[in-house]
Structure 1
Amino acid sequence: MISTWRRRMAARRARKLELRSGDEAYEEVELTVPSEFKCPISLDLMKDPVILSSGITYDRGSIETWIEAGKRTCPITNRTLESLEPVPNHMIRRMIQDWCVENRSHGIERIPTPRIPVSSMEVVEMLDKISEAGQAKDQSVCRKLVVKMKALTKESERNKKCFKSNGTGSVLVAAFGAFSETSSADEEKDAVLKEILSALTLMLPLGVEAKSRLGSPSSLRRMVGFLTSGDLSSRWNSALALREIVSSDKRKIEALAEIEGVSESLFKLVKEPICPAATKSSLIVIYHMVTSSHPAKDAIISRFVQMGLVSLLVETLVDADRSTSEKALGVLNGICDSEEGKEAARDNSLAVPVLVKKLLRVSDLATEFSVSVLWKLMAPGESSEDGGGVLAEALLVGAFQKLLLLLQVGCGESTKEKATQAVKLLNLHRERLECIDSQDFKDLKRPF
């Protein structure tokens, strides 16, 4: 029996020695990456080797990060680079790929052949051709070039930056304006305009000059046309472009408001949302329209009120996210500048409860808009009885306590002044409401 135990122990020791010798052997054949295959910056195996004008090869990601940081010298030689355009080092890449294949038994995966990014020279050449096609009104050539440009832009973030830095937005705006000038409409022209507009949204935000040119009367009419009767994609792109225009140039709001069908199209985009981005863009455009100093501002608000925008905004606010809530409240605040808008809000049974709920629940901006709207609804207008019903309803849903809390935690001066006035108005009506005597619940059993 003792000999059997000794044999078992001897077998265990032998197995341990075998395992140790195997580990040592594994350590002896541990793979070492050749130094010429490592990036001098990251010291990792290069996946996309490129060579600089200094003759040193780096991994593209590492050297582009170096250049984007504002450095114009070679990290190894410290010499000023004659060109900032890295050139693919195909020989080193093939050598690295061959080495990966030879060592795949060690778990090394072959690096894929990277797509060569577009160069600034190629971008400039393509933009020149788009400009020429726009000036010659060559719809077919322009559309093909824009489609190719979109594909390259979506291929990588680096390509997108290259296109944006070379003034693509201004070129596309000029082409869009050129094809929008003629009053005649056909399918081929609409197709090229839709492609240009789609490409423009990839270049946002645009420069000041590009925004101004995009806001020309002919371009605005085309975008409103797409917003009214276009497909989902063109409606979305039109909303994004219009938001870009009106957010930076208030003068364009007047021209936009005078185009027939724009109010109905924006309203429809909020009522029948395509995507959150399109909804928010529409709300921003509406906000600028109802808060502008346009002479026909009251007429614009009246048109939106008659379409039922107040009820739509209140319904949207019930379960909206932060960004949408801020924009919807901003629009509602602008609409309540008119008596017609205030009456529509007062007639909506959900308006006051929703506004009180948004206080201190979403953001500082949402709270600011909510207080402003509540104050406008509570303040008496042409009739001294206008705000009475709102005051009673606001008290019932806890507006008095929330406004007091807001004043305690602090807010902006304008919001503080409106909240103070609202509290004073509410305080005058507190005694008129029927209060519940605590003695009525003296026999109620507590759940704890």
Structure 2
Amino acid sequence: MTFSWRRRRGGRGGDGKNEGFKGINQDMELTIPTHFRCPISLDLMKDPVTLSTGITYDRESIEKWMDAGNITCPVTNQVLRNFDQIPNHSIRKMIQDWCVENKSCGVERIPTPRIPITPYEVTDVRSRIMAAARLGDARKCQELVGKIKHLAKESERNRRCIVGNGIGSALADSFESFARSSVNTHMSLLKEILAALTWTFPLDEEGVSKLKSAVSLRCMVLFLKSDDLSSRQNAVFVLKELVSADEACVDGLMGIEGGIEETLFQTVKVPICPKATKASLVVIHNMILSSKEQSDIITLRFVRIGLIPLLLEILVDGDKSVCEKALGIMDSICSLEEGRENAYENALTVPLLVKKILRVSDTATEFSISSLWKLCLGENERALVEAVQLGAFQKLLVVLQIGSSERTKEKVTELLKMMNLCRDKVDCVDSSMGFKYVKRSN
């Protein structure tokens, strides 16, 4: 039995499958043998593997099937005795020969797949990395880290296998070990380990404990202050994961001489890349949300170095994710009296907070309302009048109509009561605004 495949007219149609047929002449019909197609995807197999039931599938398709929790063979429905996937070299060679035979039709040869890494191999490399760290063998450790990075780049499957078998903890252990020995001596190796760590999260408890040590944190802050953009980027990525996983990391960062606030501020002010900016904002937010005693100190430090104008600048044209993070920080800053005073002194604060209500996301709306509520505490008449002039009253009515969290509803209600007392003092925005800010449901 065979399947027939006909390329659509126009050269750019189709559903994106059968990538090997990009060059086939229009209207040419090509017959593909059934046993060359994966029984799951019905696409030409690129890496055929055989299960214990004797049925051959494309590796990517059967792995997705197994990752979904299935324990049976899709074709026979038999329970699999094991999950071994044996490469079917015979079928793969036949497919490659068929591709070569049809080269004149524009069929590209399926490349010979690389053998994926196994959990046993990852465990072996993990043990060797930790042994090299204990012996202080930087050359061997760098060689093994390079090998891991190379294998991870080969395929997403390799990366999942590497991460799933604890390589992150070994890297964290090595990072602390060589940082403790001498940062200057092992600078190149530490940069390599840090780069690999960025894609190995989440780490287990042991790995996190190694990275949140004073030695490791000092080394990361050193990289964050360096002129090497790649190292700065990797350092802030790792710090973001650490402060999100363990609040104790904030205490460790606070204990570093020279402080980290100015460094994070500069990372946002002079962006490396959008991801690094978002990561920096996450670190700042987690630092501000630390324990109450530390939180106030950290927040005021950020306020005094000029974080508020920088956040407002981000809000002018930032994307959804960045705006949410910036508004979250602004909301925390407005919890302090000095923070509120500094925020209100900036002419852009109230206009931008009002503008972001119902314009970005539900999260951004809640942060905007909370910040505005805090600014208006004590019936700050100037802030209330300005908000009403900008149409906040109508927007808040819409928020009540479309629904929000109970805490946000309480703040909206309080704001409306306060604003209602000010409405006769200003020329209000046309109340016919209606529901133009409500997003349509998909």
TM range (shorter): 0.7 to 0.9
- In the alignment, is the contact (CA less than 8 A) between 2:391 and 2:428 conserved in 1? no
Aligned to 1:296, the other structure's residue is in SS state: helix
Report the equivalent of 2:123. 124
CA distance in 1 between partners of 2:129 and 2:235 (Å): 21
Equivalent in 205, 210, 232 of residue 207 of structure 2 = 210
CA distance in 2 between partners of 1:149 and 1:400 (Å): 57
CA shift, 1:348, in A, is: 0.0
Residue 295 (structure 2) pairs with residue 297 (structure 1) = yes
Residue 395 (structure 2) pairs with residue 396 (structure 1) = no
Aligned to 2:419, the other structure's residue is in SS state: helix
Residue 180 (structure 2) pairs with residue 185 (structure 1) = no
- Residue by residue over 1:102-125, the C-alpha shift from the partner in whole angstroms, topping out at 9 and shown as x without a partner, is 344455443222222222222222
Matched positions, count: 401
Aligned to 2:45, the other structure's residue is in SS state: coil
Distance 1:405 1:36, change over 3 A: closer
CA shift, 1:283, in A, is: 0.8
CA shift, 1:302, in A, is: 1.7
CA shift, 1:101, in A, is: 2.5
CA shift, 1:332, in A, is: 0.7
Letter in 2 for 1:278: A
Show the 5 A alignment for 1:11-410.
Answer: 32-34=31-33, 37-42=36-41, 44-53=43-52, 56-74=55-73, 83-105=82-104, 108-182=107-181, 184-186=182-184, 188-259=185-256, 260-380=258-378, 387-410=380-403
- In the alignment, is the contact (CA less than 8 A) between 2:389 and 2:428 conserved in 1? no
Aligned to 2:57, the other structure's residue is in SS state: strand
Aligned to 1:111, the other structure's residue is in SS state: coil
CA distance in 2 between partners of 1:367 and 1:435 (Å): 22
Aligned to 1:431, the other structure's residue is in SS state: helix
CA shift, 1:264, in A, is: 0.8
CA distance in 2 between partners of 1:226 and 1:419 (Å): 44
CA distance in 1 between partners of 2:311 and 2:337 (Å): 17
CA distance in 2 between partners of 1:163 and 1:92 (Å): 28
Distance 1:221 1:52, change over 3 A: same
- In the alignment, is the contact (CA less than 8 A) between 1:217 and 1:255 conserved in 2? yes
* TM-score, structure 2 as length reference: 0.83
CA distance in 2 between partners of 1:269 and 1:30 (Å): 56
Report the equivalent of 1:412. 405
Distance 1:354 1:31, change over 3 A: closer
CA distance in 2 between partners of 1:129 and 1:40 (Å): 40
Structure with greater helix share of residues: 1
Give structure 2 stretches of 5+ with no counterpart.
Answer: 1-27, 430-442
- Residue by residue over 1:171-190, the C-alpha shift from the partner in whole angstroms, topping out at 9 and shown as x without a partner, is 211211222223x331x412
The CA RMSD measured in Å over matched residues stands at 2.6
- In the alignment, is the contact (CA less than 8 A) between 2:353 and 2:368 conserved in 1? yes
Q: Which has the larger radius of gyration?
A: 1
CA distance in 2 between partners of 1:435 and 1:332 (Å): 27
Distance 1:435 1:272, change over 3 A: closer
CA distance in 2 between partners of 1:207 and 1:121 (Å): 19
CA shift, 1:251, in A, is: 2.4
- In the alignment, is the contact (CA less than 8 A) between 2:172 and 2:211 conserved in 1? yes
- In the alignment, is the contact (CA less than 8 A) between 1:85 and 1:119 conserved in 2? no
CA distance in 2 between partners of 1:374 and 1:334 (Å): 12
CA distance in 1 between partners of 2:263 and 2:129 (Å): 31
Distance 1:415 1:40, change over 3 A: closer
CA shift, 1:40, in A, is: 5.0
Aligned to 2:325, the other structure's residue is in SS state: helix
* TM-score, structure 1 as length reference: 0.82
CA distance in 1 between partners of 2:214 and 2:279 (Å): 20
Aligned to 2:300, the other structure's residue is in SS state: helix
Report the equivalent of 1:430. 423
Give structure 1 stretches of 5+ with no counterpart.
Answer: 1-28, 437-448
- In the alignment, is the contact (CA less than 8 A) between 2:373 and 2:415 conserved in 1? yes
Which has the higher mean CA deviation after the structures are superposed, 217-226 or 339-348? 217-226
CA distance in 2 between partners of 1:326 and 1:306 (Å): 22
- In the alignment, is the contact (CA less than 8 A) between 2:253 and 2:260 conserved in 1? yes
Distance 1:344 1:107, change over 3 A: closer
Aligned to 1:50, the other structure's residue is in SS state: strand
- In the alignment, is the contact (CA less than 8 A) between 2:183 and 2:219 conserved in 1? no
Letter in 2 for 1:265: T
Aligned to 2:383, the other structure's residue is in SS state: helix
CA distance in 2 between partners of 1:36 and 1:420 (Å): 67
- Residue by residue over 1:115-148, the C-alpha shift from the partner in whole angstroms, topping out at 9 and shown as x without a partner, is 2222222222221211111111211111121122
CA shift, 1:404, in A, is: 2.3
Identity %: 54
CA distance in 1 between partners of 2:315 and 2:428 (Å): 30
CA distance in 2 between partners of 1:38 and 1:73 (Å): 19
Which has the higher mean CA deviation after the structures are superposed, 322-331 or 401-410? 401-410
- Residue by residue over 1:234-271, the C-alpha shift from the partner in whole angstroms, topping out at 9 and shown as x without a partner, is 11111111111111222222222222331111111111
- In the alignment, is the contact (CA less than 8 A) between 1:240 and 1:281 conserved in 2? yes
- In the alignment, is the contact (CA less than 8 A) between 2:354 and 2:391 conserved in 1? yes
CA distance in 2 between partners of 1:305 and 1:324 (Å): 19
